């Protein structure tokens, strides 16, 4: 008897995961989602193709042929920034997912990692798949540990594993971050302070562009290697001061942008080489400006 095919999403009730799930459902794909603590951003969706499960031992997982599993489960912040908090939120789920891969036929795993596995390089030197990781905080460290666990385990299991390292992601319901902060200050006509005199480069992705990239991994399964790393990002990188200016213009704000000669905790340029994703996956990145326009339009629609 042929089993029904499905896509599995860990972290599917969160910001990025829920956006991915909604796109998959729109394409008439059955999606299995680990419920974790709640249904999160999927709480209002009623769709027969959306199937929740509550534990890694749930029998529902054995009822489907899982084509691709997405691992978006992650701990980005912790109350006291203790290592154990990040380990439990990032490494532990990865170990559990590896055990699942050994017990349930899953042909492909896509792990969503981060550019935080890197540190400072030369002036806006693009981060690429070949850049040596050197994380300087527990978030980047535990995401990199998960990457290495998957690289080691990949040799022993019959699963293709794709790792994609993303920069900061923004969009409606992001729950904070650089773009939301700049947007909120802008619509209130508040002065906007930008650290490092606004001269640091940032590469930021609208969540819709992230979802497009993640979907391409599933579509490109046949051409992918057993284990591969990809960089994700926007079409361009912009200085922080220019990003702030674009938001002020797009919101018709009276905010003044004030460069501050002080460094943030992580004072680095984030420029990303996404040529591999474009060549192998056919990824067509969104520009930062187009992403900002989309975000602000969506925010206005909420009003």
Residue 194: its pLDDT value, please? Answer: 94
Q: Is the pLDDT of residue 123 over 70?
A: no
Whether residue 268 is predicted with pLDDT greater than 90 in this model: the reply is no
Judged against a pLDDT cut of 60, whether residue 121 lies above it is answered with: no
> Dihedral sign, CA of 19, 22, 26, 29?
positive
Q: What is the mean pLDDT of residues 186-200?
A: 95
3-class SS string, 252-264: CCCCCEEECCCCC
Q: What is the mean pLDDT of the chain?
A: 92
Q: How does residue 82 score in pLDDT terms, banded at 50, 70 and 90?
A: confident
Strand partners, 53: 34
Question: Percentage of the chain with pLDDT > 90?
Answer: 75
pLDDT number for residue 56: 85
What percent of the chain is predicted at pLDDT more than 70? 96
**Integer Cα distance of 241 and 168 in angstroms:** 16
Alpha carbon 122 to chain centroid, angstroms: 25
pLDDT for the residue numbered 119: 77
Is 0.75 surpassed by the pTM of this model? yes
CA–CA separation, 27 and 259 (whole Å): 45
Strand order in the sheet with 50-53: 50-53, 31-34, 4-10, 64-71, 108-114, 160-166, 227-231
Query: Cα–chain-centroid distance for residue 180?
Result: 16
Encoding tokens for residue 161?
């594993």
Condensed to tens digits (0 to 9), the pLDDT of residues 222-257 reads 999 999 999 999 999 999 999 999 999 999 999 999
Tokens of residue 79, six digits: 């109350």
Mean pLDDT of 107-124: 85
Mean pLDDT on 162-177? 93
In this predicted structure, what is the pLDDT of residue 120? 62
Per-residue pLDDT for 79 more than 90? Answer: no
Report residue 303's pLDDT band, with 50, 70 and 90 as the boundaries: low
- At 64 the pLDDT is 92
Residue keyed to tokens 């990145």:
285
Of the candidates 186, 197, 212, 109, the residue with the CA atom closest to the CA atom of residue 153: 109
Domains and CATH numbers, the chain: 74-170+204-234+271-285 (3.40.50.720)
Tens of pLDDT, residues 9-57:
999 999 999 999 999 999 999 999 988 777 778 888 888 899 999 888 8
Please give the average per-residue pLDDT across 263-287, as a whole number: 92
pLDDT score of 1 more than 50: no
Q: Name the more confident of 133 and 76.
A: 133
């Amino acid at each position: 008897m042929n089993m029904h095919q499905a896509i599995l999403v860990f972290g599917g009730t969160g910001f990025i995961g829920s956006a991915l799930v909604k796109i998959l459902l729109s394409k008439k794909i059955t999606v299995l989602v680990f419920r974790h603590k709640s249904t999160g951003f999927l709480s209002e969706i009623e769709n027969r193709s959306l199937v929740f499960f509550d534990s890694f031992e749930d029998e529902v997982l054995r009822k489907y042929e899982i084509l691709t599993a997405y691992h978006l489960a992650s701990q980005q912040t912790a109350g006291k920034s203790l290592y154990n908090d990040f380990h439990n939120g990032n490494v532990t789920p990865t170990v559990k997912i590896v055990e699942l891969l050994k017990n349930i036929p899953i042909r492909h795993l896509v792990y969503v990692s981060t550019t935080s596995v890197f540190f400072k390089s030369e002036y806006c030197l693009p981060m690429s798949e070949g850049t040596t990781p050197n994380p300087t905080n527990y978030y980047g460290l535990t995401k990199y540990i998960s990457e290495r666990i998957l690289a080691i385990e990949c040799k022993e299991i019959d699963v293709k594993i794709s790792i994609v390292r993303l920069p900061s992601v923004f969009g409606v319901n992001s729950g904070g971050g650089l773009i939301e902060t700049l947007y909120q200050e802008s619509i209130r006509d508040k002065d906007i302070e930008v650290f490092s005199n606004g001269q640091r480069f940032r590469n930021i992705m609208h969540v819709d562009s992230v979802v497009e990239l993640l979907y391409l991994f599933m579509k490109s399964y046949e051409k992918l290697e057993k284990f591969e790393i990809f960089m994700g990002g926007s079409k361009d990188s912009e200085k922080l001061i220019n990003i702030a200016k674009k938001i002020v213009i797009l919101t018709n704000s009276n905010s003044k942008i004030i460069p501050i000669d002080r460094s943030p905790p992580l004072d680095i340029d984030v420029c990303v080489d996404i040529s591999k994703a474009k060549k192998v996956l056919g990824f067509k990145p969104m520009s930062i400006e187009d992403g900002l326009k989309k975000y602000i339009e969506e925010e206005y629609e909420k009003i």
